């Protein structure tokens, strides 16, 4: 697999490029390894203190390739190093005498790096964009950008869409958007949703909820709202803070993500909360390891997702698996996860007052909240990793039908 711009082992939410995609690549690779497939995950080396090759799990390795400076760079600055990354991956495979049977790439930078190798090695190439620049631009009222990095990405995504053997999308609606955007045939796309660890994210009991709230030192006199993710403008956290200020319920809000030690975006959000008069009710613990997220989900009365654009919505799935109702924007893949009035509430207008009303509703109506929580876990059982792995393995088999074996996949 290729995950050029971000390591699947990175701490989620610490930077803008470490989010749900990291979880997807890591956990899918582990699931494939459990089924006997050897997986090499290639990423760009950004930390000189980390070993170039790490064993992620049985049959799964993370291989860090030097391309450009060995330092963290945002995705917008990485395109000049794509060719170097391609060459060095090719050299690695040649020196190790490895023949990869499938190239499975994640995000446009990875797909751009893998295109020449797929031709050189004559192997199938499947990709998952995770986000698409033109679709993101539509959420801001633009379909293109004068920004040089965005223009390059738009051009490359179009080239990738017409060149790869298969594109996977997480929802039917995302597939329809890509078909219209690039004029693709239905057989060029495969719908395979993202997954969730159903053994880690389980519904809270009264005891685990009380334990979680004590551990987080929450005020039991106030209900708790939770937001988790990268501190990126597309996540709509300004809208969330304004919604909190308009609510009739005096709720406390935890925003998990970012770096509490000098992160400019975190400081901006903290100042915004203060200006709105809710600063004392908002906590910013920073990014949290995924294994510790269950405690936050168990402590919360509701999880809020105010994103402008979500190709899937992993946080919503993790929350529901944990038995926590979700109040979400009716955006992208969230509408295929959150069923209004069944396991959560959808807000169809990007209006702080509309969010405030729905948040008040879920926090003040105990019967509603109990019903949503009761339906939550069962509603996401279909996203268990074994199910997702079965779909991916079936696609690998289809793409390699003329090959003698499927020995390894390289997820870029």
In a domain, 113, yes or no: yes
Q: How far apart are CA 323 and CA 168, in angstroms?
A: 28
Instruction: Say if residue 393 is in the same domain as residue 375.
Output: no
Please provide the size of the chain in residues. 412
pLDDT, tens digit, 9 for 90 and up, residues 5-53: 999 987 765 555 667 888 899 999 999 999 999 999 999 999 999 999 9
Residue 209 tokens read as 């909820």
Task: Note whether residue 1 is domain-resident.
Answer: no
Closest to 37 in 3D by CA, of 390, 383, 402 = 390
CA dihedral (230, 262, 77, 117) in degrees, to 10, reads -50
Question: Residues 353, 395: one domain?
Answer: no
| Same-domain status, 171 and 234 | no
Split into its structural domains, the chain has a count of: 2
> Of residues 81 and 412, which shows the higher confidence score?
81
First and final C-alpha spacing in the chain: 4
* pLDDT per residue as tens digits for the range 302-324: 999 999 888 889 999 999 999 99
Q: Given CA atoms 361, 324, 30, 16 in this order, what sign does their dihedral have?
A: positive
pTM for this predicted structure: 0.87
pLDDT value at 225 more than 60: yes
Q: Please check whether residue 171 lies inside any domain of the structure.
A: yes
* pLDDT at residue 385 tops 80: yes
341 and 210 within one domain:
yes
Mean pLDDT of the chain: 92
* Whole-number pLDDT of residue 136: 78
Same domain membership, residue 254 and residue 402: no
Both 111 and 178 in a single domain?
yes
* pLDDT > 50? residue 143: no
Query: What average pLDDT does range 56-60 have in this prediction?
Result: 95
Residue 6 counted as domain residue: no
Mean pLDDT for the stretch of residues 122-143: 82
Tell me whether residue 172 is in a domain.
Answer: yes
C-beta separation of 383 from 194 below 8 A: yes
Q: How far is CA 274 from CA 221, 271, 355, in A?
A: 21, 5, 19
Domain membership of residue 97 (yes or no) is yes
What's the rounded Cα separation, in Å, for the pair 18 and 24? 11
Q: Are residues 240 and 123 in the same domain?
A: no
Q: Which two tokens stand for residue 177?
A: 């958007």
d(CA 379, CA 271): 37
Based on the domain organization, do 25 and 150 belong to the same domain? Answer: yes
Residue-wise DSSP of 151-176? HHHHHHHHHHHHHSSEEEESSHHHHH
- Is 9 among the domain residues? no
Lowest mean pLDDT among 13-17, 52-56, 208-212, 407-411: 407-411
Same domain, 248 and 149: no
CA 372, chain centre distance (Å): 24
Residues 221 and 156 in one domain: no
CATH of the domain at 259: 3.40.50.2000
At residue 135, the pLDDT reads: 85
Residue among 65, 66, 76, 151 at smallest CA distance from 109 = 76
pLDDT digits (tens, 9 = 90+) for 81-107: 999 999 999 999 999 999 999 999 999
Strands, DSSP E only, in 325-407? 326-329, 344-347
Which 3 state secondary structure label does DSSP give 276?
Answer: coil
Q: How far apart are CA 8 and CA 209, in angstroms?
A: 29
The verdict on 79 and 127 lying in the same domain is: yes
Residue 200 lies in a domain: no
Token pair of 331, please? 């955006």
Structural domain span for residue 281: 206-381
Beta pairing partners, 243? none
Same domain, 261 and 346: yes
């Amino acid at each position: 697999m290729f995950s050029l711009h971000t390591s699947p082992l990175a701490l989620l939410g610490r930077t803008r490029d470490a989010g749900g995609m990291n979880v997807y690549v890591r956990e899918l690779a582990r699931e494939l390894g459990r089924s006997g497939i050897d997986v090499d995950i290639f990423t760009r080396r950004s930390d000189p203190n980390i070993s170039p090759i790490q064993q992620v799990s049985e049959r799964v390795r993370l291989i860090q390739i030097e391309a450009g400076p060995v330092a963290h760079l945002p995705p917008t600055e990485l395109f000049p190093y794509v060719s170097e990354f391609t060459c060095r991956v090719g050299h690695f495979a040649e020196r190790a005498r490895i023949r990869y049977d499938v190239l499975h790439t994640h995000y446009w930078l990875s797909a751009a790096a893998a295109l020449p190798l797929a031709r050189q090695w004559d192997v199938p190439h499947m990709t998952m964009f995770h986000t698409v620049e033109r679709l993101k631009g539509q959420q801001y009222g633009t379909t293109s950008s004068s920004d040089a990095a965005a223009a390059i990405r738009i051009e490359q995504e179009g080239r990738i869409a017409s060149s790869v053997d298969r594109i996977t999308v997480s929802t039917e609606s995302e597939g329809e958007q890509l078909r219209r955007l690039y004029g693709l045939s239905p057989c060029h796309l495969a719908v395979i949703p993202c997954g969730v660890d159903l053994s880690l994210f389980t519904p809270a009991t009264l005891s685990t909820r009380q334990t979680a709230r004590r551990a987080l030192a929450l005020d039991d006199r106030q209900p708790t709202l939770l937001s988790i993710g990268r501190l990126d403008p597309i996540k709509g956290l300004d809208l969330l803070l304004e919604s909190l200020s308009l609510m009739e319920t005096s709720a406390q809000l935890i925003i998990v993500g970012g770096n509490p030690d000098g992160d400019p975006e975190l400081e901006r959000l903290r100042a915004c909360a203060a200006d709105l008069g809710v600063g004392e009710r908002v906590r910013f613990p920073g990014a949290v390891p995924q294994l510790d997220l269950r405690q936050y989900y168990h402590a919360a009365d509701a999880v809020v997702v105010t994103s402008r654009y979500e190709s899937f919505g992993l946080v919503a799935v993790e929350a529901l698996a944990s038995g926590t109702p979700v109040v979400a924007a009716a955006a992208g893949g969230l509408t295929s996860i959150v069923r209004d009035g069944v396991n959560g509430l959808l807000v169809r207008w990007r209006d702080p007052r509309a969010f405030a009303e729905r948040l008040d509703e879920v926090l003040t109506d105990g019967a509603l909240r109990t019903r949503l929580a009761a339906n939550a876990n069962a509603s996401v059982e279909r996203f268990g990793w074994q199910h997702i792995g079965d779909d991916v393995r079936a696609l690998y088999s289809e793409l390699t039908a003329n090959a003698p074996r499927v020995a390894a996949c390289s997820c870029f």
